[in-house]
Amino acid sequence: MSITLGASILAADWSRMGEELAELEAAGIDYIHWDVMDNRYVPNLTFGWDMISACRSATTVPFETHLMAWETERDIAKYVAAGCERILIQPEAHIHVHNTLRVIREEGAEAGIALNPGTPLAMVEDLLPDITTLLVMTVNPGFGGQAFIETMLPKIEAARALVADRAPHVKIEIDGGLKPGNVAAGVEAGATMVICGSGLFGPEGKAAAIAAMKSGIASAGVTA
């Protein structure tokens, strides 16, 4: 089984974002994860489609966007035009979640659902045919640098069983507090996509940090 490693660029130097993305690609990252926050759904304000569009030419790796924002269906086309191949939404932030997923697909992107630590897995059961990715958050969304919530491991395992039974096309992604020392537990629980954020921007450099994460993933008996 192949596990892909994505970089959340929340902790990057925003004044040189293009260079940061190019460095991540050179260091071996598989995809870029954009955490879009609106200061309403979560208590933080980050970037939008203009920033993503401006950075699209800096790297060739895929872009994934996690919309931590209220009622974003009217903005989906802008994120796709900016270069996002996959868009994940929070089910609590949309009155008609099924319709928003339809809009994402019709605009030409893959659709996904993100579940907060306090959001039950049942929220996604009826939406599995409409998504390609299920993100199980292992921290509460809003800020980088948080500690991994170990009690999410049974939820990842339950997600793996649900997907295997009802939607084997869906990939399970995890995000939040993941480091070389704990990522194997998430992969063993069922994740096939892993996001790392602040851990990639330390003094050891991106290449060493990515190598360490992939080594941690490999210790679970899979290949990153």
Written as one string, the DSSP assignment of 152-186 is GHHHHHHHHHHHHHH-TTPEEEEESS--TTTHHHH
**15-24 LR contacts (CB < 8 Å, sep 24+):** 17/51, 17/54, 17/55, 17/58, 18/54, 18/55, 18/57, 18/58, 19/58, 20/201, 21/55, 21/58, 21/59, 22/58, 22/59, 23/206, 24/59, 24/61, 24/200, 24/206, 24/210
- Say if strands 4-8 and 193-196 run parallel, antiparallel, or are unpaired: parallel
- Give tens-digit pLDDT for 146-201: 788 999 999 999 999 999 999 999 999 999 899 999 999 999 999 999 999 999 99
Q: Which of 30, 50, 126, 175 is catalytic?
A: 175
Q: Where are the domains of the chain?
A: 4-218
Let me know if 175 is a catalytic residue. Answer: yes
177, two tokens = 């507090």
pLDDT number for residue 223:
59
64: Cβ–Cβ under 8 A, 6 or more apart, which residues? 6, 31, 32, 33, 34, 84, 85, 86, 87, 88, 112, 133
Instruction: Give pTM, 2 decimals.
Output: 0.95
Q: Which of 35, 38, 50, 126 is catalytic?
A: 35
Q: Is the distance from CB of 179 to CB of 202 less than 8 angstroms? A: no
For the domain bounded by 4-218, which CATH number is listed? 3.20.20.70
Let me know if 38 is a catalytic residue. Answer: no
Q: Is the distance from CB of 37 to CB of 44 less than 8 angstroms? A: yes
Mean pLDDT of all residues belonging to the chain: 94
- Give tens-digit pLDDT for 17-26: 999 999 999 9
> pLDDT band for position 45 (50/70/90)?
very high
pLDDT number for residue 221:
78
Q: Tell me the C-alpha to C-alpha distance, in Å, between residue 29 and each of 3, 67, 69, 121, 220.
A: 12, 21, 26, 29, 19
pLDDT number for residue 80:
98
> pLDDT band for position 141 (50/70/90)?
confident
136, two tokens = 């199980």
